[in-house]
Amino acid sequence: MRVIALFLICFTFLSAQYRNNDDDLVKTTFLREFDKSIIENYFQSGELDKVNAALLSIAHSQDTSFIKNILLLDFNQHPKQITFALSELGPSKLSANYLFEQIETGTQFTAEIFDAIGKVGDKNDLLKCISLYKENKIFGFPFAIYNFHLRGIKDESEEDVKLLLDNLKTENDESDLFQNLFTLYRVASDKVNPEKLEFVLQKEFKSETRLYALGILRKSSSFPYSFDLAQKLINDSDWSIRCEAARTLCYYDYQSPSEIFSYLNLLFDQNPNVSLTAAQSIQNIKFSDENLLRSVNEFLTNLLIDPNLSENTRGEIFLFLETFHKETEIEFYEKYSKMVSPIFNYRYLANVSNYNFAFTELRKLYSNADDYNKFFIYSNLVNHFDSLKHNDKFINFVLDQYSSDQPLIITLNNYSIDSSFAISNSEKLREKISGLVSTKLEDSSFNQAISSSFNVTNNFDTLFTREIISAISSSSNHELKYDLRDELTFIPEVREERIKLFDKLFSYAFEYSEALIVTNKGNFTIKFLPEVAPISVGNFIYLSKNNFYDNVIFHRVVPNFVIQIGDPTGTGWSGPSHTIVSEFSHIPFDTYYIGMASSGKDTEGSQWFVMQNNYPHLNTHYTNFGKVINGFEVIKNIDQYDVVKKIELIK
């Protein structure tokens, strides 16, 4: 029996979920209709793949009536799928009791179960988790505490947090230590005694473990250890540790020039993410010695002409130096602005105290800029919105944008205009927005600009908002209607358009197994996961076959976290004319996995990201549709504004 049980567990890992002939189940899931007759057929099939596929579908349904069907399944055959589905269906005493029963059977999937209990259980279940852990030290307990805390369910005595703190010991298994550190970092970093973290930083644990130890220190704005340990972290062979050290060691109390310049050497790190992070973190250093402060100022100013620095690092230093030159900010800008790329000039002007100078300069730059730069110029100009909103020239400049062919800037306007500006300029705004709707309603590239205009019109005329909604209802812009489905009554033709989109994307879902991503830094390969995210994979393949990603930049890079791409405008505010649904699953967001970016559930389009490290807080909140299988050094060295030249699909 033990051999059979092990075989079933291994088969669970290898078994697929969705397959290329599961179009009926995937379609009802995509449409968010969750046809019970279809799902029931999959449940009753007796086939492992089909039952797993049904569980994936049910997880998105929010229909708790499915719970009773799930509890009849053999947990040993579907451990991860069952725990995932129950956790996504939300709080349920039935689910919590069932999950506790599985722990009592001695299953090895305790981490997944604790994670799920934290999402479905109540205060009594939290106390039961604490009791179980005190008795048996069951693996996965921190994940339950993390999820309970996210839901606002806590133990008043803080015994749960105390247990996590007590287990920060060297003799612990590293996986258990990682979970403890992750949970403490997310929910109780202020409770951690820094002395308990030193051993983690001294030992050769995995980078993901040490990362959270450093993160806890960063949250407390301290690094209370010797400079010897700081030096060890600065020189660590792992780029991700050097990167996180740059974020944390800026809080060390530097006592000498040699110490501070040892930290500043991170600016020359061969990994651009480390260099950039150091440049961004300098602002947090506290200089108690005026002479040392002057030396650092002079050193950094000279770096503005250093050819060995990346453009992004140089730009961040330029922004930091503005803090030294508040009284001469305009003179400093005029002297050094040509030494950095334009994007940093815009950001500098967004932070100067002389908002009239900023407006004049940014408007001048705007008049000669291309669409890409216009967006960033304008996005930094609105940083001075409160100071300028009574300036007639600024008011006219803002209103004029509604007549432009810049949908992203119109959208930015709609999110920037506050109620006082909207009320004061209501007549002109009504005229401008009416013109926008009448001329651009059928143009899908203006969908976000039109839908976001409600943020403005609701401030001064809700009747006018209803007029716009009525106009949208009568249009043939089905994707805009779908985006506004919560505001509109059900429109049958929108469903038909969604079915057409589904048919197109699902036809590509299993056509290719991999993709070679060719960048200016080298190549990396993605292995697709259509078994859990067929629509996301099909969407990626469809867009790639139409050269959508060619010559597109990595518009967002958060060092040691994610690198993100997929917006041809390079702004992070755009995508294709359609949106797809979320396909959450039990696949974790570990290092090198690929996720779909979104602004909320079922808002995915074309943007995707690659994980540079292990971040469990993303699990079940984003669609995981692939994993990098080679080219890892490329992932480590991607910098913001690097480029995907092309994508080659592989059978």
Dump pLDDT digits (tens) for 432-473. 999 999 999 999 999 999 999 999 999 999 999 999 999 999
Asked if 461 and 426 touch (Cβ cutoff 8 Å), the reply is yes
Average pLDDT over residues 83-101: 97
Report percent pLDDT > 70 for the chain. Answer: 97
pLDDT of residue 13 exceeding 80, the answer is: no
Report percent pLDDT > 90 for the chain. Answer: 89
Strand pairing category for 608-611 and 643-650: unpaired
CA distances from 533 to 216, 538, 584, 645 (A): 34, 9, 8, 25
- State the pLDDT at residue 5: 37
Strand pairing category for 643-650 and 552-553: antiparallel
Residue among 212, 575, 236 nearest 411 (CA): 575
Q: 90: left (phi > 0), else alpha (psi -120 to 50), else beta?
A: left
Average pLDDT over residues 3-23: 59
Average pLDDT over residues 55-61: 97
pLDDT of residue 8 exceeding 50, the answer is: no
- State the pLDDT at residue 538: 98
CA separation for the pair 626, 341 (Å, rounded): 34
3-state SS string for 341-380: CHHHHHHHHHHCCCHHHHHHHHHHHHHCCCHHHHHHHHHH
- The pLDDT confidence band at residue 573, using thresholds 50, 70 and 90, is very high
Average pLDDT over residues 417-428: 96
- The pLDDT confidence band at residue 171, using thresholds 50, 70 and 90, is low
Asked if 625 and 604 touch (Cβ cutoff 8 Å), the reply is no
- The pLDDT confidence band at residue 289, using thresholds 50, 70 and 90, is confident
CA separation for the pair 121, 78 (Å, rounded): 21
Name the helix (H) or strand (E) containing 93: helix 93-104
pLDDT of residue 237 exceeding 50, the answer is: yes
- State the pLDDT at residue 12: 39
Dump pLDDT digits (tens) for 487-534. 888 788 899 999 999 999 999 999 999 999 999 999 999 999 999 999
Residue among 253, 199, 266, 197 nearest 226 (CA): 253
pLDDT of residue 6 exceeding 80, the answer is: no
- The pLDDT confidence band at residue 15, using thresholds 50, 70 and 90, is low
- State the pLDDT at residue 3: 34
- Tokens coding 546: 């139409």
Dump pLDDT digits (tens) for 356-394. 999 999 999 999 999 999 999 999 999 999 999 999 999
Dump pLDDT digits (tens) for 473-491. 999 999 999 999 888 887 8
- State the pLDDT at residue 7: 34
On average, the pLDDT of the chain sits at 94
CA separation for the pair 628, 618 (Å, rounded): 17
- The pLDDT confidence band at residue 306, using thresholds 50, 70 and 90, is confident
Average pLDDT over residues 217-226: 95
- State the pLDDT at residue 2: 31
- State the pLDDT at residue 170: 61
CA separation for the pair 641, 519 (Å, rounded): 11
**Residue where the block lists tokens 């879902």:** 509
> Residue type at 60?
H
Which residues, listed in sequence order, are joined to residue 623 by a DSSP beta bridge? 596
Dump pLDDT digits (tens) for 596-611. 999 999 999 999 999 9
CA distances from 184 to 188, 189, 191, 211, 506 (A): 5, 5, 8, 13, 41
Dump pLDDT digits (tens) for 308-319. 889 999 999 999
pTM beyond 0.85: the answer is yes
**Residue where the block lists tokens 């040490």:** 210
Q: 123: left (phi > 0), else alpha (psi -120 to 50), else beta?
A: alpha
- The pLDDT confidence band at residue 46, using thresholds 50, 70 and 90, is confident
pLDDT of residue 11 exceeding 80, the answer is: no
**Beta strands across the sheet bearing 593-596:** 552-553, 643-650, 514-519, 522-528, 623-630, 593-596, 608-611, 562-565, 556-558
CA angle 97, 10, 649 (to 5 degrees): 110
